[in-house]
Amino acid sequence: MRDEPLVYELSRAGRKGCSLPKPDVPEYAVPEDLAREGLDLPELDELTVVRHFTRLSQKNFSIDTEFYPLGSCTMKYNPKVNEVAASNPGWRNLHPLVGDEYAQGALELMWRLQEGLREVGGFAAVSLQPAAGAHGELSGVLMIRAALRERGAHARKKMLIPDSAHGTNPASCTMAGFVTQTIPSGPDGNIDMAALRAALDETVAGIMITNPNTLGLFERNIEEICRLVHEAGGYVYGDGANMNALTGIFKPGNSGIDVMHFNLHKTFSTPHGGGGPGAGMVAANKTLAPYLPGPVAVKNGDGYTLEMPPKSIGRVKAFHGNFGVLVRAYSYLLMTGANGLRRVAENAVLNANYLKSLVEDVYPVPYKRNCMHEFVAKGTIADGVHTLDIAKRLIDYGFHPPTIYFPLIVQEALMIEPTETESKETLDLYADALKKIAMEAVAQPELLHDAPHNAPVARLDEVMAARRPILCYRG
Amino acid sequence: MLKAVGASSVEEFFSDIPEHLRIKGLDLSDGVSEIEALNEIDSLAERNVQTKKMDWFLGAGAYYGYIPAVVPTLAGRGEFLTAYTPYQPEVSQGTLQAIFEYQSMAAKLLGMPVVNASHYDGATALAEAVLMAWKAKENRNRILLPVDLHPEYSQVIATYCTSFNIEFVQYEGAPESAPVDEDTAAIVIAYPSFSGEVYPIKRAVDRAHEMGALCIVHADPLMCAIMKSPGEQGADIVAAEGQSLGNPLNFGGPYLGIMGTTEALVRRMPGRIVGETKDKVGKRGFVLTLSTREQHIRREKAVSNICSNQGLTMLQTCIYLATLGKQGLREVAKQSYDKAHYAAGLIGGTAGYHVRSSQFFREFLVETPKPAARIVKTLSRRGIMPGLALSRYYPDRPNELLICVTEMNTRAQIERLAVALKEASK
């Protein structure tokens, strides 16, 4: 594939990709002390813009073009109807400050989505404010902080985090003023209960649990964990990153979790967009619901209003959440429904177990249990070959690599999440590729070391990028 | 498939879940067809007022601007829409180069050496900027905030900073008169202020620097196309809402948090950054970089918990800036400026109304003869949304209306607004 120049390199003086109507009012001079001279933006005609960004798009792997089994990221099909639903001018042209009476349709959609998510999670109330999973986590731990302070438990500063957790969990705790203590996993891949008991003292604020955890395993002791943490005076935060394994099968709220976020861009199929925007709604039981971030949509008779929960931690962003993402999630919820949500979990888990059974003879799976929606295998297939090499070689076979080197507790980890929307045929092809790569690793390891061979670029020098950063165009 | 796994039913896979916690089903309706779903959603969408169907003068942090047709068409391509965070750079060069181009254009616009790949919105970018500055000035604990800052932004800053012992001091009026002292970690300057006032910031920045404090500017990025950028006036950190650069209103989100800083502070800046590098045969390529700041590497020691960027809204802004370019963006800004000043002239000349802003860009504050909320109600019945009644946020300021004029407003609309305001004063 040929190099695509930067927009600045395509620029030619005097060109413009879009024109405005002729001015219909007199000109007013910008005062001299405020006026800006010059503006170094590129100048392109419309067709050049179209070709440029179309060509750039063709340098991406995406769900629409390739199988994309990134562990914990839930790269499942994002139905096109959701895009149509979200592009309605009634949403696109709706100003956030029009006032409740002029936005009844939007508030009703928010309320219905809140109600639906509340039912799926088994919680008392939901806020759609957070803009991402990590943003939901921050909201949740701030809620725990607020509840502790109201109890006068200011000294409870310790948040327990399993060693398999996402990096956002400890980082969110730091932003909420907590200190973290890592709880190791036991030989079965679940939280080590003895270590948990030992950590539960009078300084404990709570625990953050991802269930199923990042090994793709259900925390079998979830009820016991919640009971112990509550008895010790702490709260339980649930990280819902992996909720597509459980919809319609298990409600986290029933197991004792106090507050939890769902990633609507994972479980509810809104597109990842090359990094966002997501939506990280947060749900809570009766105890913590008053602290939810706001505003939230409330039904009053036949109408809807936006209101702050009584003891709210406040706003976590301007306006009312990533509304455009919420429309897509609501569209998905409508079309999937109760029956469909259960099938989501069944197919996610079936696909993962099927794929695991195809490759585990070649790629060792450290925990011998049924997995949920994903599994972690090891890239220890030949001397001198690493997980990174396997990942890059998969690109040559037309597949996006799995998540690699995570979770940190498995060496040479390959974290594979096929998702519920993939067919058996795709899973078979992927397993075949993994097996072929394992043979190549022995017979022709340089094929792996030099991979990818067919991508727009070869392996990039990331060390140089960080040592001598070039962060914008310097023409 | 079950046979291959050696299972008799899907139920077996869920055997780790205690039986009494396994539910029979959800209390929701069953799924519906595409036709039914769209009918349902469209009927909800119809129950909202739309900018396009009225004469629209409401801004206050969310702006009705023109979005060229190429913007959603290109940003909506499945290859952009359904890609993940570009952790595998060889198959993500499209996303990575687009981020690099966005970083480059936004940096030039704001006059900053570095802009990152974006935050959730302008408010969270500003809150993160405050935390960044506070951490950078270890022995200083005071942050100066303008009174005239978007109230929702102030609320987000309060939420983000609640766990830290930061002393917030509010200042009124021009930032150069703010009480910066040796305990001040940073001063926040709103450029323009919530009510539209544009203060030159150079002197305030110089004073902050003399006192050893950092200067955070919350800027309107479109304004920077025709007015001095925060960077050329010495800002250390810039936070901005990028919605009006190519993103629809969408009832408040998803928007675009633009954040920029200096080379000296870049390793303290939260949020993804893309950098240029080479592959092993010397070909140019782009990667996520400086990731030792971030949560997936540093966990509890990371500079923030942020783990995403507003990929698609950033891409829309990237395409918007490339399409309008040097001339087009200045035209959008200048037309907004001219139309706003034309409107202010007409309304200021209407009996009972006083324009309170002296220097402004596209938004100005008007004192009204009757409660602004009532005027909004009356005019909206006639198809005019005249602006934001400040009483929404400040009950003690009933007679103030914040009016916004963009390139979308025609002269005829502006004149209708002036006439309607005159009639409403009777």
Phi, psi angles (nearest 5°) of residue A273: 65, 30
Question: Contact B144/B169 with Cβ under 8 angstroms?
Answer: yes
Same domain, A305 and A252: yes
Same domain, A223 and A243: yes
Is A24 domain-assigned? no
- Does A198 lie at the interface with B, CB-CB under 8 angstroms? no
Is A293 domain-assigned? yes
How near does any CA of chain B get to the CA of A65, in Å? Answer: 7
Is A127 domain-assigned? yes
- Does A58 lie at the interface with B, CB-CB under 8 angstroms? yes
Same domain, A315 and A412: no
Residues paired with residue A210 on neighbouring β-strands, in sequence order: A239
Q: Output the pTM of the full model.
A: 0.98
Enumerate helices (H) and strands (E) in chain B, giving the number of each: 12, 15
Across the range A324-332, mean pLDDT stands at 98
Alpha-carbon span A295 to A312, nearest angstrom:
9
Is A387 domain-assigned? yes
pLDDT reading at A211 higher than 80: yes
Alpha-carbon span A422 to A428, nearest angstrom:
11
Is A97 domain-assigned? yes
Same domain, A348 and A277: no
Same domain, A357 and A264: no
Tell me, what's the pLDDT at B298? Answer: 86
Same domain, A100 and A123: yes
Strand order in the sheet with A375-378: A375-378, A413-416, A403-404
In chain B, where the domains are located? 51-66+325-424, 70-320
Same domain, A385 and A277: no
Alpha-carbon span A171 to B300, nearest angstrom:
4
DSSP class of A185? B
Q: A49 burial class (0-12, 13-18, 19+ CB within 10 angstroms)?
A: buried
Question: Contact B126/B153 with Cβ under 8 angstroms?
Answer: yes
- Taking residue A413's Cβ as centre, other Cβ atoms within 10 Å add up to 23
Contact A457 B84 (CB under 8 A): no
Query: Which segments of B302-410 does DSSP mark as H helices, in order?
Result: 311-348, 372-381
- Does B39 lie at the interface with A, CB-CB under 8 angstroms? no
Alpha-carbon span A200 to A191, nearest angstrom:
14
Same domain, A312 and A378: no
Residue A432 CB contacts under 8 Å (≥ 6 apart), including other chains: none
First vs last C-alpha separation in chain B? 77
pLDDT reading at A78 higher than 70: yes
Is A242 domain-assigned? yes
Alpha-carbon span A310 to A31, nearest angstrom:
47
Nearest one of B326, B325, B384, B127 to B237, comparing CA atoms: B127
Residue B80 CB contacts under 8 Å (≥ 6 apart), including other chains: A57, A60, A62, A273, A274, B74, B94, B95, B98, B311, B312, B315
CB half-sphere exposure, A120, CA atoms < 13 A: 36
Contact B94 A324 (CB under 8 A): no
Please report, for the domain that includes residue A314, its CATH number: 3.40.640.10
Is A93 domain-assigned? yes
- Does B378 lie at the interface with A, CB-CB under 8 angstroms? no
Alpha-carbon span B272 to A412, nearest angstrom:
25
Contact B23 A103 (CB under 8 A): no
**Residue-wise DSSP of A317-358:** SSTTS-HHHHHHHHHHHHHHHHHHHHHHHHHHHHHHHHHHHH
Tell me, what's the pLDDT at B292? Answer: 85
pLDDT reading at A436 higher than 70: yes
Contact A370 B310 (CB under 8 A): no
Alpha-carbon span B266 to B252, nearest angstrom:
29
Residue A443 CB contacts under 8 Å (≥ 6 apart), including other chains: none
Q: Which domain holds residue A86?
A: 82-336
- CA distances for B156 relative to A316, A317, B118, B318, angstroms: 5, 6, 17, 26
Helix axes A424-443, A323-359, angle to 10 degrees: 60
What does CATH list as the number for B51-66+325-424? 3.90.1150.10
Same domain, A130 and A243: yes
Closest in B124, B322, B392 to A42, CB measured = B322
Same domain, A317 and A390: no
Question: Contact A395/A452 with Cβ under 8 angstroms?
Answer: yes
Is A437 domain-assigned? yes
CATH topology of domain B70-320: Aspartate Aminotransferase; domain 2 (3.40.640)
- Taking residue A457's Cβ as centre, other Cβ atoms within 10 Å add up to 24
- Does A462 lie at the interface with B, CB-CB under 8 angstroms? yes
Tell me, what's the pLDDT at B293? Answer: 85
Alpha-carbon span A281 to A131, nearest angstrom:
8
Contact B5 A171 (CB under 8 A): no
Alpha-carbon span B97 to A53, nearest angstrom:
10
* B346: nearest CA partner in chain A: A25
Tell me, what's the pLDDT at B294? Answer: 86
Token pair belonging to A394: 């998969």
Nearest one of B385, B348, B342, B382 to B365, comparing CA atoms: B348
Residue A1 pLDDT level (bands cut at 50, 70, 90): low
Tell me, what's the pLDDT at A16? Answer: 95
The pLDDT tens digits of the residues spanning A369-424 come to 999 999 999 999 999 999 999 999 999 999 999 999 999 999 999 999 999 999 99
Percent residues over pLDDT 70 in chain A: 100
CA-only gyration radius of chain A, Å: 25
**SS3 call for B364:** strand
Instruction: From A315, A336, A357, give the residue that closes a domain.
Output: A336
Please report, for the domain that includes residue A356, its CATH number: 3.90.1150.10
Same domain, A367 and A271: no
Contact B12 A33 (CB under 8 A): no
ipTM: 0.97
Residue A475 pLDDT level (bands cut at 50, 70, 90): confident
Domains in chain A: how many in total?
Answer: 2
The pLDDT tens digits of the residues spanning A260-315 come to 999 999 999 999 999 999 999 999 999 999 999 999 999 999 999 999 999 999 99
Closest in A20, A271, A342 to B335, CB measured = A20
Selected residues 379-398 of chain A with any CB under 8 Å from a CB in chain B: 391-392, 395
- Does B417 lie at the interface with A, CB-CB under 8 angstroms? no
Q: Which residues of chain B have pLDDT under 70?
A: none
The pLDDT tens digits of the residues spanning A174-194 come to 999 999 999 999 999 999 999
Same domain, A210 and A303: yes
**Residue-wise DSSP of A241-280:** TTGGGTTTTB-GGGGT--EEEE-TTTTT----TTT-----
Across the range A201-220, mean pLDDT stands at 97
Token pair belonging to A150: 């109201």
The residue assigned the tokens 């956030």 is A96
